[in-house]
Amino acid sequence: MRPVEVRRLAADLDLRPSKALGQNFVIDPNTVRRIVRTSGIGADDVVVEVGPGLGSLTLGLLDRAAAVIAIEVDDRLAGGLAATVSERRPDRADRLTVITADALSLTGLAGSAPTALVANLPYNVAVPVLLHLLERLPSLCRGLVMVQAEVADRLVAPPGSRVYGAPSAKLAWYADARRAGAVARTVFWPAPRVDSGLVAFRRHDPPGPDRTAVFALVDAAFGQRRKTLRAALAGWAGSPVRAERILRAAGIDPGRRGESLGIEAFVRLAAVSDDPP
């Protein structure tokens, strides 16, 4: 939808975009077409969209996908989305399911298993929403999300990078991820104060059996980035001495820092830590 159409829909709903809910609506049809094309979805895909807003991207997804499951936390937007699709794509309206909910509260979805996530994620919860859906919806095999540009950089950063951190390592548990392009702030209404980036991902087999244990290690390692792993993991291990013993048993220098470890190294650490103190 074009800017005038987006603003008219907002006026009809008596809606003022909420900063608290991260509501910045795409008003450039070319950007919508680019996202849909880059996502690689096809006629067999069941797509999850988080934060569909006024429906610009939803309409584009319905043109390609077998079905779209739109998850919207704002009651007014959720209520208006089906009407927008019925008016503009009446032949595709039966492919849309709207769920009024906070995506972070989802434990699963009824019906056909979703295969892809394509969304303009609210900036303030983008990382937790992405990781939560990958955990709760194991059928998601790929996706494309739009997030704040610096968050996109962190999500795809390799070990050793200046911006590599817990989000990078946790996403690497689930999927291979890459930057899939930049998005200017001018394509949104209201325009955010930052540029955006596209992150594409494809799920792979998990690198280990115990995600909870590995993620606890990741959080401990990055909770004190400036400290060596021996010091940063002391609380997690029970003491600096035991932290060092576990690190050496896993073949990791205790003097290294968390940002130098890939997800496989954290998996090794978690496995070694199962040994008695």
Q: Given pLDDT bands bounded at 50, 70 and 90, which one contains residue 274?
A: low
pLDDT greater than 90 at residue 24? no
Strands 188-189 and 116-120: unpaired
**Over residues 139-160, mean pLDDT:** 97
For residues 28 and 191, give the distance between their C-alpha atoms in angstroms, rounded to a whole number.
12
The per-residue pLDDT for 20 is: 66
- In the block, tokens 């590599």 appear at 164
For tokens 């509501």, the residue is 23
pLDDT bucket at 96, cuts 50 / 70 / 90: very high
- Report residue 103 as tokens: 């995506």
Distance, in Å, from the CA atom of 259 to the CA atom of 162, rounded to the nearest integer, reads 8
Provide, for the chain, the percentages of residues in helix, strand and coil under a 3-state DSSP scheme, each rounded to the nearest 5: 45, 20, 35
| Domains of the chain, earliest start first | 3-203 (3.40.50.150), 211-272 (1.10.8.100)
Q: How far apart are CA 203 and CA 177, in angstroms?
A: 9
Provide the token pair at 170: 């946790």
Determine the pLDDT at residue 189: 76
Percentage with pLDDT > 90 across the chain: 81
d(CA 244, CA 230): 5
* CB proximity list for 204: less than 8 A, separation 6 or greater: 174, 175, 176
C-alpha closest to that of 255 among 270, 237, 243, 263: 243
How far is the C-alpha of 137 from the C-alpha of 71, rounded, in Å?
14
Q: How confident is the model at residue 193 (pLDDT cuts 50, 70, 90)?
A: confident
Mean pLDDT of 237-263: 96
pLDDT, residue 178, reads 98
Q: Tell me which amino acid residue 117 is.
A: L
